[in-house]
Amino acid sequence: MEKKWQLWAGIASAALVSIIFIWRSLTRNASVLGLIAGGIMAALFAALIVALCARPFAALKGGHLSPDELLGARSLRRSRRHPWGEIVLFVLMTRIAALLIGYLLYRYGRAYPGGMWNTLASVWEHSDSPSYLGIAERWYVTEGDPRFHIVFFPFYPCAIWLFNLIFNNSLISAMVVSAAASAVGAVFVYEAAALDMEREAALRAVKYMLVFPAAFFLTAPMSEALFIMLSAAAIYFTRKKQYLWACVFGALSGFTRSVGGLIIVFIAWEIAEDFITAYRIGTIKEERRALILNALCLMIVPLGLIGYLYINYAVTGNALTFMKYQKEHWSQGFGLFFETAATQADAAARAAQRGNTGELWGLWIPNLTASIAALIMMLTGAKKLRPAYTAYFLVYFAVACGATWLLSSPRYLTACIPLMFAAANASGERRTDIAMTAVCIAMQTAYLYMYVNGHYVY
């Protein structure tokens, strides 16, 4: 009966996605190429919903033991089970390598532009970086072009300001924050992954966090590294059943990025797992108070977004000013991800017709490729991941890739932790791991070249 209900739920959900796609396709003037791109995206998304409905909760099958629970106490005491020092060292080495490679790619084809230190701003201050640095130095303002900085969330600039008390240089402070957050975030990613997979696979998750094509943004003065750290911490404490800490980190994640508060989906899903487990083993009455308190912790997560809305109100007199500016200045709003894919495909075709290879290969192709590859990666790894990860990814993808004028899909998806775990599971065989790593490094090098040289990379 359970399986039959899950099957019908999956079919109904996939049918709903299909109906919405067909309806929207008939009511808008989309090209054949746009329909193909949007159709592929909708089909993959619907398939992932079906996969989730086939296994909506691990507790329905009695849950599963973590790799650590399969080991003896003596094995768990071995220090190598928690190689934090090695992880931090690896992160710092890769960040230094990114700085060096970025400088060399910037210098390529130029007369000597100066040393790596002197050209740091020219190499790394692109995309949203100047906005974050401006907020850290002057906070939010209401006049001139900097008034649009209100669309950027405040926690990363606050961290820059704090470190600026030491370094007295906003760019250096920002890159120190990003490096430190990358190191701590990698530890949380590892520990969270190790609760559900072998330690070797958990280490691969950390590796893919650092080699995904847009992972160089973890080095840049951008909020990705801090967002990953806070999201990974929220996931780790959720899996350890420490929901108060999980929701505190979830709130801070929501104070860092617009999609940060979506971590509430993962936390709520795991709390639902606890309710189901207690019901199945007959301890629901004994655990009722603890379960309710855990559920009430969820009210903390929206505080991050509420704090940001209050800043909008305090600065501009309108809590939704950021949405107004997104619409007026960037033509940005909430939409359907498959319509965004159609828009990107049409834009790619126009760029190709104009012979604008920089826009084609720097902007539209990476955005479409990242979105489709992410769905395929999650679809192949859904069976090996806890259902909460799939549910969280679906919501994250729909919101992040549903922006009406999406320019940063590779960057947004690089910060999506379930993708790191899916990549780790997909690369279990050594040959597959080597091939995936090589492709990611090659793509990251090409993408980094376009970024440091001011091409269409956001």
Model pLDDT for residues 345-395, shown as the tens digit of each residue? 999 999 999 999 889 999 999 999 999 999 999 999 888 899 999 999 999
Cα separation, 196 vs 263, whole angstroms: 18
pLDDT averaged over every residue in the chain: 89
* pLDDT over 50 at 254, yes or no: yes
Residue 377 has a pLDDT of 95
Single pTM value for the model: 0.92
Contact 304, 255 (CB under 8 A): yes
Q: Indicate whether 424 pLDDT > 60.
A: yes
CA dihedral 12, 18, 20, 25 (to 10 degrees): -170
d(CA 305, CA 299): 12
Query: pLDDT tens for residues 88-138?
Result: 999 999 999 999 999 999 888 676 677 767 788 889 988 899 999 999 999
| Residues 163 and 176: beta-carbon distance below 8 Å | yes
For 206-254, the DSSP string reads HHHHHHSTTGGGGTSSSSHHHHHHHHHHHHHHHHTT-HHHHHHHHHHHH
User: Model confidence over 340-359: pLDDT tens digits?
Assistant: 999 999 999 999 999 998 89
Contact 174, 158 (CB under 8 A): no
Q: Where are the domains of the chain?
A: 2-452
- Phi and psi, residue 16, nearest 5°: -65, -45
